[in-house]
Amino acid sequence: MNEHLKNDLVQLDILLDKVKLQGLEYLKKIESRQTSTKNTIEQNVILNEKGIGTIEALQQFNGRFEPIIVSTSGPRYWGFVVGGSTPASIVGDWLTSIYDQNPFATKGQGDISALIELETIQLLLNLFELPNDYFGGFVTGATMSNFTCLAVARQWIGKELGKDFAKEGVAGNIKILTATPHSSALKSLSMLGIGSNNFSGVKLQEGNKESIDINDLEERIKQLNDEPFILISSGGTVNTVDFDNLKAIAKLKEKYNFWWHIDAAFGAFAICSDNHKHLLSGWEFADSITVDCHKWLNVPYDSGVVFVRDEEALSASMSTIAAYIPTGSLREPFQFVPEMSRQARAIPVWAALKSLGKKGLADMIDKNCRQAVQFADALTAAGYTVLNDVILNQVLVSFGDAATTIQVIKKVQEEGICWCGGTVWQNKTAMRISVSSWSTSDEDVQKSLHSIIKQAKSIVE
């Protein structure tokens, strides 16, 4: 055995204790860590011939990288819809690495992590109040979930046309209707060979809306003359968390033949709240749904989920056959997602769900929504323009013209008290505030507001 491996094995308890204590120190002080840094590192690209061992590698990590890591998982990081990992999900993530299982087959043919995945999918269906006839799988995130769902939709289109696109390749021009697709959905269309520009834009509802105009949608459907198509709808848009009228789309599904995909990467968790679950009414009739648990479930990255109703199309799109691959009487999760070799992604999600339960999740979602309203009210009172109706956890605020707003965003980021990103919505540049962390307190909101308003005043006044 390699000498470094021998030493690491002997010192494994010491190594893991060091990392545990370091992790605890980071998490205890995460509130005081900056949300941005101007520091950088000099790249060291020469690999040591004999290696340096794990202790020395850890020391180098702590000397070069750790001091300039920012608190993107902290309570005042508002730039994207990312929550910090809950304690339970960190435990689940550690267990995932320690046991290092690959959900390759069911019934213990290799390991039982596939069974954990199957159970976790059922727990999520129960949480989301979705029928048990959905088949699910775990992927890296919303991008790969959209990719998988749209790959299955592509296969369904082929079946309707008497083709097997998975085996024969894409033929013809696949029709796509959508209003406000996420960039990951368009990227998926590109990767699938459909084309990121190959969609017809449906009109938006009038007013401050990013959602589909149902009347225009039906008119466009009629113009297709019964040709099968894919509808990409939003279960919470990226800027304002606007929801398409899913109940109305469900009624159209009764009249017309199309594949209905819902991108509900983080909006899916509105179902947890009695105040907001109506936004998802009707989504149970969709053909496929994208969810990303690293967002509002507050688990580590690498936790996207795919829900698809058509098992035949899903299997035809994703399954593979080889002499060495085992098969069991139950389905193998890897046959329903793009990757074969992957970590047991379900464990952190399973741990988070079991730890919080429905009530714990509802409390977290409602708290974040209330805090988003606090942001909007305080920024309005300070004289700045909140552009959107605060439906859930997103706030868009303008500080004047585009140049001024960009300056404010830059100054807030540089100060490092909190981190807010920028966006453009309805041709207006805005600061985007996404409230989605379990650890965010009302004090964190006030600290962030103080920083934002202070920086805005320094520029505007």
Q: What is the pLDDT of residue 325?
A: 67
Boundary of a domain, candidates 321, 352, 383 = 352
Q: Assess whether 267 and 342 both reside in one domain.
A: yes
Q: Assess whether 329 and 287 both reside in one domain.
A: yes
Q: What is the pLDDT of residue 209?
A: 86
Q: What is the pLDDT along the chain (461 residues), one digit of tens a residue?
A: 888 999 999 999 999 999 999 999 999 999 999 999 988 888 988 999 999 999 999 999 999 999 999 999 999 999 889 888 999 999 999 999 999 987 765 554 556 888 899 999 999 999 999 999 999 999 999 999 999 999 999 999 999 989 888 888 887 779 999 999 999 999 998 888 888 888 999 999 988 789 999 999 999 999 999 999 999 999 999 999 999 999 999 999 999 999 999 999 999 999 999 999 999 999 999 999 999 999 999 999 999 999 999 999 998 898 877 666 666 545 677 778 998 888 999 999 999 999 999 999 999 999 999 999 999 999 999 999 999 999 999 999 999 999 999 999 999 999 999 999 999 999 999 999 999 999 999 999 999 999 999 999 999 76
Q: Assess whether 276 and 135 both reside in one domain.
A: yes
Q: Assess whether 144 and 22 both reside in one domain.
A: no
* Residue 146, domain member (yes or no): yes
Q: Convert the pLDDT of each residue in 335-394 to its tens digit.
A: 789 988 889 999 999 999 999 999 999 999 999 999 999 999 999 999 999 999 999 999
CB 332 within 8 A of CB 137: no
* Residue 383, domain member (yes or no): no
**334-339 contacts: CB < 8 A, separation 24 or more?**
334/102, 334/103, 334/104, 334/105, 334/114, 336/135, 336/136, 336/137, 336/306, 336/308, 337/137, 337/138, 337/139, 337/144, 337/148, 337/306, 338/139, 338/144, 338/147, 338/148, 339/139
Q: Assess whether 218 and 147 both reside in one domain.
A: yes
Q: What is the pLDDT of residue 319?
A: 82
Boundary of a domain, candidates 308, 326, 352 = 352
Q: Assess whether 95 and 62 both reside in one domain.
A: no
Q: Assess whether 42 and 165 both reside in one domain.
A: no
Q: Assess whether 51 and 97 both reside in one domain.
A: no
Q: What is the pLDDT of residue 1?
A: 84
Q: Is the dihedral of CA 191, 193, 198, 199 positive or negative?
A: negative
* Residue 394, domain member (yes or no): no
Q: Convert the pLDDT of each residue in 201-228 to its tens digit.
A: 999 998 878 999 999 999 999 999 999 9
Q: Which domain holds residue 139?
A: 90-352
Q: What is the pLDDT of residue 341?
A: 83
* Residue 221, domain member (yes or no): yes
* Residue 426, domain member (yes or no): no
* Residue 164, domain member (yes or no): yes
Q: Assess whether 246 and 331 both reside in one domain.
A: yes
Q: Assess whether 186 and 264 both reside in one domain.
A: yes
Q: Look at the block and give the residue holding tokens 């959107």.
A: 388
Q: Count the domains in the chain.
A: 2
CATH of residue 137: 3.40.640.10
Q: Assess whether 61 and 102 both reside in one domain.
A: no
* Residue 360, domain member (yes or no): no
* Residue 193, domain member (yes or no): yes
Q: Assess whether 127 and 216 both reside in one domain.
A: yes
Report how far residue 344's alpha carbon sits from residue 102's, in angstroms, rounded to the nearest whole number. 6
Q: What is the pLDDT of residue 360?
A: 97
Q: What is the pLDDT of residue 331?
A: 63
Boundary of a domain, candidates 322, 352, 382 = 352
